[in-house]
Amino acid sequence: MKTIVLEKNINCHLHQTTKFNDITISFRFRNNLSNIKRSARAFLTQILSDTCLDLPTKDAVTRYLDTCYGTNFKASGDVIGKLDVIEFRVSTLNGKLVDEDLLDKQLYLLYQFIYRPRLVNGFFDETLFNEMKERLILVINSYHDQPGSHASNQAKRHFNQSQASKALPTIEEIQNTTNKDVVDAYNQLINEDALDIFVLGDFDESVILNYLTTIFNFKAKNSYTDVLDLNTRDTTNEIIEHKAISQTRMIIMFTTNQTMLDSSYPAMLLANGIFGAFPSSYLFQEIREKRSLCYSISSRLDNYDGLISVSTAIDGNNYETVKSLVLEQLKRIQNGDLSDELFETTRKMYLNVLRSSQDSQKSILTLDYRRILLNDTVEINNVIEAIKHLTKEDCIEAFKNVEPKLFYCLMQEAQHEENE
């Protein structure tokens, strides 16, 4: 990947590959979570992907996409460590395959949606704004109708202020967000957010750079490089809430006291695979397969935040038993109780996952962005090589700092009533 500075904190990253028939272009804007209003930014991912000044109706958007051989365009938001990221991504058939220049149309589409939104007298079109507010409320309600998603969100809100800031905005926050709030968020995005542009595919570098400098009028931006968010918590708490659901959901959040930049990162990946990331893991085998005490269970490692989260769907009657068994599996690894066979099986599974990630456009862009945010310190091939040479002792040592800090349970109401 080659990086070219277009302006201060506006960088273009060129990733040449002949693996794909499409050329994908991604604009990623980033700002500190502490510096933005998340509810207003949520509106932007909806408004700036719906219509724009030159394509003011959905029908006009569809017709334009059809002229680009079914181009795929989307806007989305994400939280990465301490950063709030908004991405605009467009994938278009490589014009070489149809003997037509499609890059111009591709970048024009990005320009129109990002830089020419439907603003009227300094505000977003009122009908559009209200429609997006209704859409966001539906999205949030749908999210909370899913017990697993609701439980995960609630656990974040209860863990600490850092995690709470990454939770989904509430319905009340969306309802109280004004048109002016969203306009302010948009102006901040355009004028302040650092911007990384990724181009992935088989393209002519000079043509890309010519279009970018011709179509866009980039201006220098602020820099937001404080990415990693090592979460800590002094106390361990248990919180039980109740809801009319058919299965109880339990989330256990652990601090790892390590991040992606620590030398233990590859060992943490592998140890978490042994703990709960794969079907061969202790959590899955001991709690689901052997004892049939849960409907699903897995562990997820977030090395931007220094956290591991275990999520499981259970019968409420088994809550205490499952909680104890999860902690028992953690202790097994910390005490060195892992077989050579499980260790090698998990190593092979992770190597396959990491290698296959290089065959997906989405995964490649994710890995490229990680390299940019962390200054090339976590190159995927280096992680693969490190995992090849890990020992069981490396994994045991990495997991010794893992500590349970929050037990969150979304209990089915029927269970609640039986216990009263």
Q: Are strands 22-32 and 83-93 parallel, antiparallel or unpaired?
A: antiparallel
Q: Do 237-419 and 2-215 fall under one CATH topology?
A: yes
Question: Tokens 């030398």, residue?
Answer: 263
- Domain boundaries along the sequence of the chain: 2-215, 237-419
Lookup: tokens for 340: 């050579």
Give pLDDT, residue 414.
60
Assign domain 237-419 to its CATH superfamily: Metalloenzyme, LuxS/M16 peptidase-like (3.30.830.10)
pLDDT band with cut points at 50, 70 and 90 for residue 392:
very high
Question: Tokens 């991405």, residue?
Answer: 87
- Cβ–Cβ < 8 Å for 56, 128: no
Helices and strands (H, E) in the chain, number of each type: 17, 13
- Residues in CB range of 256: below 8 A, 6 or more apart: 268, 301, 303, 306, 307, 308, 401, 402
Give pLDDT, residue 188.
96
In order, the DSSP letters of 16-50 are E-SS-SEEEEEEEEEEEGGGS-HHHHHHHHHHHHH
Model pLDDT for residues 251-273, shown as the tens digit of each residue: 999 999 999 999 999 999 999 99
Model pLDDT for residues 157-175, shown as the tens digit of each residue: 999 999 999 999 999 999 9
Give pLDDT, residue 417.
44
Model pLDDT for residues 277-308, shown as the tens digit of each residue: 999 999 999 999 999 999 999 999 998 999 99
CATH top-level class of 2-215: alpha beta
Adjacent-strand bridge partners of 16:
201
Lookup: tokens for 214: 């011709």
Alpha-carbon Rg for the chain in angstroms? 23
